[in-house]
Amino acid sequence: MKAQYDLVIVGAGSGGYIAAIRAGQLGLSVACIESNPYAAPDGQARPGGTCLNVGCIPSKALLASSHLYEQVVHHTAEHGITTGGAAIEVDKMIDRKDGVVSKMAKGIEYLFKKNKVDFIKARARFVGMQDGVYSLEVSAENSVQEISAGNVIIATGSKPRQLPGTRIDNAIICDNAGALDFREVPKRLCVVGAGVIGLELGSVWRRLGADVTLLDAMPDFLPGCDTAVSKEMLKLMSGQGLKFDLGVSIDSIALSGGGVQISYRDRAGAAKELACDKVIVAIGRVPNTDGLGIEAIGLELDQRGYVPVDEHCRTILPNLFAIGDVVRGPMLAHKAEEEGIMVAEIVAGQSGQVNYAAIPFIIYTSPEAAWVGKTEQELAREGRAFKSGQFPFSANGRALGHGDAQGFVKVLADAESDLVLGVHIVSSLASEMIGEAAMALEFSASSEDIARICHAHPTLYEAIREASLAVDKRALNI
């Protein structure tokens, strides 16, 4: 640990560690500070943040395992494959998930060393700023030191939003972290929150045999999605056995006889009771600025607890930046990464930027939902004239061959210029296909541009071309 750095990053999550690596590549002296061990066996702070340790990566590992189990049990007969006696060993599934996380965490520490980044496993807080240099107190288990830097990035991420009056024990009543460590499949599971996290976690345990009910305060399902996507996803998720009660208000969640009793009111105001074995509270996340000591440097948060920043993630204080979940915008790991790269390049004297209009969103259920750009509702509110083209995977040869022809691609384009404004996909591999759409938005492509690109056959992504053709009512396969 040095006394002074060009750049100090508080937080080693998706935005923080990527910013540190990029700054190291650019020749800056860099320290990245992290205090959270998550579930590290040695109890030492571990890089990767929420995404790697208790979010994106472990949940995708469990989704993969549960999807494979469901395929073996329920979907091999149509391929002429007979199976019998398939069983899930939850402990092994969880251990595999933990192994994936540990491997990636070790990989980040290797990248820190490779790029000459000092990874400081400690808690950091601001103690002052003088002559453009920030001082931070760095406290580990047996030591307290002070370091300084001409530039600082706050990358402390987010934490689960709490449900008032409900105590999370991560044994029976869990947040998203606890939901990743069940050691047996609950017979009855309630998920409070039917957003992205709730749907993904609910899907994992539903596939393994749990009876899953999702409660959500919003009257509409996935209100941030294009209407066509939300309608399709509700139909498909319900068809798989997930139960939904929307527009509810929770009165209480209480332990009862080894399980949980949930009292709530439905959208009509009628009182309801739901008994289950476990509850997952997944009602979103809030910025994490606890213990940062921002008052010591005169930094104030906005009304929602975010650090105010401009389009380049600068705060009102000189050479102090904030990125990721702690600032405005979607709480997405890849958004935080892009901001981290941008700020590192700015600190190094380059002109970094992030195109917030081309950030993709993904829900990793089965099928997946992915989108980038504007929804039809947003364009209608803006009063912007647009054209729409849609193509179903039921007319796609590769999807039919896979035995998974659910969903569609929808392309929205400007009525006059034909500029692509938004692309929305429901498909088993929507997460992999949305990259083409993001590139189209990034390079200001028209639907005609996409339609004239040769797409390999047979592939799922041919549907993007067909939907682009459908914008002008000239799709070839429907």
Binding-site annotation, residues: 60, 156-158, 193-200, 284, 325, 331-334
Which residues are registered as beta bridge partners of 126?
136
Which residues are registered as beta bridge partners of 116?
none
Q: What is the C-alpha separation between 194 and 246, in angstroms, rounded? A: 8
Region label for 376, one of left (φ > 0), alpha (ψ between -120 and 50) or beta (otherwise): alpha
Whether 159 contacts 14, CB under 8 Å: no
Binding-site residues from annotation for NAD(+): 193-200, 284
Whether 244 contacts 194, CB under 8 Å: yes
Structure-block tokens of residue 313: 């993630």
Q: What is the C-alpha separation between 207 and 192, in angstroms, rounded? A: 18
Distances (CA, A) of 39 to 31, 101, 146, 461: 23, 10, 27, 38
Sheet (strand 188-192) strand order:
173-174, 278-281, 188-192, 211-216, 243-246
Active site residue 424: no
Binding-site residues from annotation for FAD: 60, 156-158, 325, 331-334
Phi and psi at 456, nearest 5°, equal -60, 150
**What's the number of CA atoms in the CB half-sphere (13 Å) around residue 36?**
23
Which residues belong to the active site? 457
